[in-house]
Every structure is written in structure tokens, then in C-alpha cells.
Chain A
Amino acid sequence: MLKLEPRPEPSRVMSYASPLLAVVLTLVSGFLLFSLLGKDPVQAFMVFFIKPVATLYGLGELCLKATPLMLCALGLALGFRANVWNIGAEGQLTLGAIVGGGVALWLHDVQGAWVLLPLMLVAGALGGMAWAAIPAFLRTRFNTNEILVSLMLVYVAKLLLSWLVHGPWRDPEGYNFPQSPMFHEAALLPLLVEGVRTNIAFLIALVLAAISWVFAEKTFAGFRFKVAGLAPAAASYAGFSEKRNVWLALMIGGGAAGLAGIAEVAGPIGQLQPSISPGYGFAAIIVAFVGRLHPFGVVLASLLMSLLYIGGETAQIQMALPAAVTGVFQGMLLFYLLAADLFINFRLRWKKRPQSAAPVVSIVSKEAA
């Protein structure tokens, strides 16, 4: 019969192969799901995964939607490495949009993009950091679980945004729609290619991925993160401050998510409105894991996750498939990944069913050893 046995050493090959295996299993499940829904699975696949990226515009959309996912996931991945479970990136993203967007509305008369845009991006990052500072402070000062606090703050942030666009920041000429005035031309992120919606935030995200790799692999602070995640006891024995790790991880995560938020409202959205993210902050958790908590892995995983979002939209328009299928795929992908990760530390062996005498032998051999 098939038996799981521990590998003597974790498999390097498997740790790279497992995300691919998870993707394949997700695709197979998708195939079954489409068939069950009575759709032609081959056509559904074309619509979901090929058509959206068959044009330059489509590729641009892919990069556009990958940007917030990448930014959020880069920060989260660093935190998860250090066992800091910030799952409130969605809220930090919202605060980034509020603070950065607030700057854009406040300085509505400033025309110089070179002053305004950097100011907005910094404000956005600071907004996200401020929101992440709450769980960081409560965890380090009052021992409060950051998972629950950061998550509760997602709801608070969304309600805050809703109040702003329904009340004080509502466009007086907006026919009573709950949204702010459109941002001025100078407050919008420049596009990379004419006719494609990808903006400069995509490049910023790629640069941050490279910086984050340097931080994680080449700096002492990154090393402390790694030790805190892999061997917490060793980290405290070595005198690495847990508080510093928690603060740093949440500040990086919050700042990156805040940047994602302002990049969304100063990019494709162009104003503040009640809903600015279809759950990018939560999907980024999956992106971080599928990307192996590694910056370059995160870049690839965010493109994949972006494809799931775009494919879901295309499938909804062209095949009347529900857009929620994206959420099902996202959840499945993470399940399969977690399961496939088993094979990093274990392998399957075909073993004969042990004879009745076998256990005795094994005990003897253990004693001999």
C-alpha cells in the first residue's frame, strides 16, 4: 500500500514544484467544475485563461491588476516569514487610498505632477502604515493577537471610506452618487504605454520586489525575520527582539498595502468611491503563499492571481459564468498548495503491507540502533 514517509531532508525540487502542482490541480478541478455547470470546458478555458491575455490591452490589464496584489503580497510575505500574521492588508490598502486620495483632493489646485504624485504615494504608504501600527502596538504592548485586530480593522477602514464618500468628501456636482470628485489630471499615475491601462505603479512594484529580495536575503534584519519564523526559540536565544520584528513586519506590510491603495485610486479608478478593491488584500495572502513567501515568486503568483480575476470577469461577460468562480479558484489554489507542500517533507512510498512479525523486527532494529 501507499505510505507517507518523512524525507531525510526537505526536497528543494518539491518546494518549487508544489505551486505548479497546485496550479495544475486547480485547473483540473476547474475543468470538472465547468463541465458540471454544463459549459464546454475547453471553451471556458480559452475564455478564462487565454483570451484575456491574447491582446496587448489584455496583457496591460494583467499587469494592472497584478500591481496591488504584488504590492500587498510582498509586504505580507515578509511578515509571514517572521510569523507575523497580518491579514488586514485589505484595510491598510483602504487607508492608503483614503490618505493618499485625501491629499489629491486637498491639493486639487496644484498642477505639478512631480510634486503632487510623490506626495500622494508617500501619504498613501503612511496611511497604510498608520493602520498597521494599531495591530503592531497592541501586539507588542498588550500581547493582542494581530490576526484578529488587523482583520477587525478591515471592516472599520471600509466603513470609514464609506462615510467619507457619502459625507464630507462627496462630489457636490456628482448627482448625489457616493463618490469623491474625479482626481485632477496631475494626480493620476502616468501610463506606461499609450492605449494600455498599466501605469507606473507596476514598475514601482517590480522595483520593490527587488528591494524586498535584497532585504530578505542580504540584510541582517531580513535574517532576523527568517530565524524568527523558522526557529522562534533560537531567535529569542540570540537576543533578536520580537517586538522589533513585529513592528518592522507590520510597517512594511502596511506601507506596501497603503501604496497599493493609493495606486488603485490614482490609477484605474481616478477617484474615491465606496468600494476600491475586490478583495486584493485577502487574495494577496494566497499570492504570498503560492509565491513561496519569496519576492520573485510573489511577482509570478500575482500575475497568476490577476489572470484569475480577469478571466473571471471575461467568463462572466462571455459565458454568463458567475464572477464568484474566481473566489472558488482562489480558495482551491491555496488548499491544493498547502496539501502539495506535504511532499516537501514527506514522500510517497509503495510499501508491502507489513507481515504480522514485521513490527517486532522494527522494534528490535530500533533498540539495536
Chain B
Amino acid sequence: MNAEQLIPILASTVGAATPLVYASLGELIVERAGVLNLGVEGMMLGGAIAGFAVTSQTGSLTLGFAAGMLAGMALALLFGFLTLTLQTNQVATGLALTLFGVGLSAFIGRGFVGTVVDGLKGISIPWLSDIPLIGPLLFRFDVLVYASIALFIVMQWFLNRTRAGLLVRAVGESPQSAHAIGYPVILIRYLAVLFGGAMSGLAGAYLSQAITPMWVEGMTAGRGWIALALVVFATWKPWRVVLGAYLFGGVTILQLHAQGFGVAIPSEFLSMLPYVATIVVLVIICRDPKTILLNQPVSLGQRFHPEA
């Protein structure tokens, strides 16, 4: 393998990783606030179809991505209302959100099957993109790739260096104490859930408008669930989320290119790789119960009644 072959592979790895970065960073904030939203897959599909529909109607990618985020937030609001206000079981409600998102997106998307939009293109940064090797590898991505890195940096700073980030963590570790001091636990959780929805929606919109600029029913193909697994893999730390997302992006791309390198394995087995890899990393991380105990937000998935 030479550089000419390697560079496009590495570059497409970044593309495949970006939706995972968004979705799992969003879910990370949700879980750090103590809420387990298993509806990532559903919210991603909602974002994918909303974004695609708006872009194909208006021709504006900006509006499309905004619509994707709004759709994710709308679905997240539904989840928040049920789990935070009505105190329903978070696992069951998250599953319901995914099933609903799958159905709703297929329903809305039926008119858009087979159509295409002008997808998001990379921008060649002047001068830098012309540097041999490094240029095509680092400076020709689309704007959302760079934004995802910025999001990671901001989130790292937000969670560890700001008062608001401390609040989010406090609400996730001990909602009772946070409530006793007078912080609005439910409101903070709502905001976290909405942020998670926006990021999932954006991730979905990225799939349908940047990676493959078209709508296919169920096009997330389990990426929402992989994003959930990444948060566990990352032991709820943003930098490990990004690392994990890029590893998974690599696995996804590798299976696409493996046959090109003459690997004589049926394509179905190569397509299994991301899913099998998810299971393997989960086992590696969860093997030691202490890793999870020490890192998992204490109140994750539990209900909180402010009156109690």
C-alpha cells in the first residue's frame, strides 16, 4: 500500500467517524447528567430525514442541518417530557423513541427515496491544503468535521472547567444533593437531553447530506447504538469518545476497502466488523466492574422526584 492509496482511506475514516463523534458527545452530556437515552438511533434517523427533506426542498444545506438538529431536539423533548416530567422508565422510553423514530422517518421519507441533493463538500484551506501528504489528510474536510473537533474541545473545557459543567456532573452524580442546594435538577436534565437530541439530529443529517447525500430507510444501520456503546467504551470521558469514534470510523472504512486489497472474505463478514468490534470493546472495558463503577454517573438511568 502506498500513500496515494492510504490518504483517501484515512480521509474517509474521518468522514465515517464524524457522525459518531457528534452523536456520542451528545449522549455523553445526557448520561453525565444522569439520563440514559437509548433513543439515539431514532433521533439520528429523525435528523437524517428532516435534514434531507429540508435541503431537497429549499436547496440550502444550512437550513437542512438546522432542521436535522431541530428534529433531533423535538424527539428528545418527547423523551424528556416522558422520562423527566412523567417519570417513565428511561430504558423503555428510549427503546420506544428508537422504534418511533424508525417508523416516523420511514413514513416521512417515502417521498424522498431515490432522490439526491448536493451534499456537503470539503473546503480546501488555501496554502495548507497544498502541502503534500498533510494537505489532503488534514485540510480538505468539510466544515462539520472541523466543527466536531471544536465541539470536543469546548466540551472538554465545559465539563471540567466551568460552573455549568460542574452542575451537569453534580446532577448526574447526586441529584438529591444538587436539588437540596437549590439547583433545578429537572431543568438541567432537560437541557442536557435537548443538547443530546440536537447532536444526534446533526449526526443523522451528516449521514444523509454529507456521507451519502440521499435518503435510505434505516440508513443509520445501528450507528446510534454504536454511539451509545462508545460512551461506555470512553468511560464517559470526551477525549476517549473521539478516540473511539475514529477507531470505529477506521473499522467501517477498512471493511469497505478490504476487498479492494484482495482480502478473500465474503463482504457480509466484513460488514459484521463494526458490530463485532463494538461487542469486543465493550467486553474489554466492562471486564473489570471497577472501571464502570468508578466512571459511570451514579444516578444514570434512575428516576428523580424533586418532591421526594
Residue numbers in B under 8 Å from A325 (CB-CB): 103, 107
Contact with B along A314-327 (1 / 0, CB 8 A): 00000000101111
1/0 per residue B208-236: CB within 8 Å of A? 00000000010001100110110010000
From A125-133, A152-160, A180-188, the one touching the partner chain is: A152-160
Name the CB-closest residue of A to B81.
A339
Complex CA distance for A329 and B202, rounded to whole angstroms: 25
A152 near B279 with CB under 8 A, answer: yes
Would A148 and B228 be within 8 Å (CB), given that A143-B292, A324-B106, A331-B96 are in contact?
yes
Distance between Cα atoms of A312 and B217 in the complex (Å): 17
Q: Least Cβ distance of A305 to chain B in Å? A: 12
Q: Which residue in B38, B87, B107 is a CB contact (below 8 Å) of A342?
A: B87
**Chain B residues with a Cβ closer than 8 Å to the other chain, count:** 46
B222 touches A328 (CB 8 A): no
With A138-B283, A327-B106 as contacts: A159 and B268 at CB distance below 8 Å = yes
Encode contact with A along B118-139: 1 for CB under 8 Å, 0 otherwise.
0000000000000000000000
- Interface segment among A98-106, A210-218, A243-251, A281-289: the answer is A281-289
Q: Which residue of the partner chain, among A143, A155, A289, A330, contacts B272 with CB atoms under 8 Å?
A: A155
CA distance A285 to B269 in the complex (A): 28
CB-based contact B103/A138 at 8 Å? no
- Residues on the B chain within 8 Å of A152, using CB: 222, 225-226, 229, 275-276, 278-279
A172 to chain B, nearest CB (A): 18
Q: Main SS of the interface on chain A?
A: helix
Asked whether, in the complex, the Cβ of B283 is within 8 Å of the Cβ of A335, the reply is: no
Contact B95 A145 (CB under 8 A): no
CB pair A324–B269 under 8 Å, yes or no, is no
Instruction: Tell yes or no: B257 within 8 A of A by CB.
Output: no
Which residues from B are CB-within-8-Å of A324? 103, 106-107, 110, 217
Q: Determine which of A85, A143, A153, A328 lies in contact with B107 in the assembled complex, contact meaning CB atoms within 8 Å.
A: A328
CB atoms of B286 and A142 under 8 A apart: yes
| B95 CB contact (under 8 Å) in A87, A153, A155, A162 | A87
Which chain A positions have C-beta within 8 A of B229? 148, 152
Residue of A87, A324, A325, A332 with most partner-chain B CB within 10 A: A324
Contact of B271 among A145, A159, A341 (CB under 8 A): A159
| Contact A156-B272, Cβ < 8 Å, known A322-B107, A326-B103, A331-B100 | yes
Contact B96 A328, beta carbon cutoff 8 Å = no
- The total of interchain contacts (Cβ-Cβ below 8 angstroms) comes to 131
Say if the beta carbon of B163 comes within 8 Å of chain A.
no
What's the nearest-Cβ distance from chain A to residue B10, in Å?
Answer: 25
> Which A residue's beta carbon lies closest to that of B79?
A335
- Contact in complex: B222, A151 (CB < 8 Å): yes
Interface residues of B in 239-290 (CB under 8 A from A): 266, 268-269, 271-272, 275-276, 278-279, 282-283, 286-289
Q: Report whether B222 and A155 are in contact in the complex, using a CB–CB cutoff of 8 Å.
A: yes
CB of A144 within 8 Å of the partner chain: yes
Given that A148-B278, A159-B269 are contacting pairs, would A330 and B286 also be in contact in the complex, using a CB cutoff of 8 Å?
no
Q: Indicate the size class of the contact surface on chain A.
A: 35 or more
* Nearest neighbor of A33 in chain B, beta-carbon distance: B107
Do A147 and B103 have beta carbons less than 8 Å apart?
A: no
Q: Mark A282-313, 1 if CB is under 8 A from B, else 0.
A: 11011001000000000000000000000000
Complex partner residue of A331 from B91, B103, B279, B289, CB under 8 angstroms? B103
* Chain A nearest CB, measured from B35 CB (Å): 15
Could you tell me which residues of chain A, from 42 to 95, have a CB within 8 Å of some CB in chain B?
A: 85, 87
The verdict on A282 contacting B99 (CB below 8 Å), with A167-B266, A338-B82, A341-B88 known, is yes
> How far apart sit A159 and B267, CA to CA, in the bound complex (Å)?
9
Q: Does A223 contact B (CB under 8 A)?
A: no
Residues of A with C-beta under 8 A to B95: 87, 285, 334
CB atoms of B221 and A335 under 8 A apart: no
Docked Cα-Cα span, A342 to B266, in Å, equals 50
For B277, the closest partner residue in chain A by CB is: A152
Question: For the complex, is B102 an interface residue (Cβ under 8 Å from A)?
Answer: yes
**Which residues on B sit within 8 Å (CB–CB) of A142?**
283, 286-287
Residues of B within 8 A of A330 (CB): 99-100, 103
Give CA–CA (A211, B250) in the complex, Å. Answer: 48
Closest-by-CB residue of B relative to A343 is B86
Are B88 and A342 in touch, CB under 8 angstroms? Answer: yes
A134 to B104, CA, bound (A): 31
Chain A contacts for B107, CB-based, 8 A: 322, 324-325, 327-328
The interface residues of chain A lying within 8 Å CB-to-CB of B91 are 85, 147
How far is A138 from B279 in the complex, measured between Cα atoms in Å?
A: 9
* Interface status of A163 (Cβ within 8 A of chain B): yes
Which residues of the other chain, B, contact A334 by a CB distance below 8 angstroms? 92, 95-96, 99-100
Chain B 98-120 interface 0/1 with A at a Cβ cutoff of 8 Å (1 = within) = 01111110110010000000000
B89 within 8 A of A: yes
**Bound-complex Cα distance A176 to B226 (A):** 34
User: Which B residues lie within 8 Å of A17 (CB)?
Assistant: none
Closest-CB distance, B94 to chain A (whole angstroms):
9
- A186 CA to B91 CA, complexed, in Å: 43
A-B contact pairs, 11 of them (CB 8 A): A143-B292, A144-B283, A152-B279, A155-B222, A163-B268, A286-B96, A327-B104, A330-B99, A331-B102, A335-B96, A338-B82
The 3 tightest CB contacts between A and B, nearest first, are: A327-B103, A331-B100, A324-B106
Instruction: List 5 additional contacts besides A134-B279, A322-B107, A339-B88; criterion CB under 8 Å.
Output: A144-B283, A153-B275, A163-B266, A166-B266, A338-B93
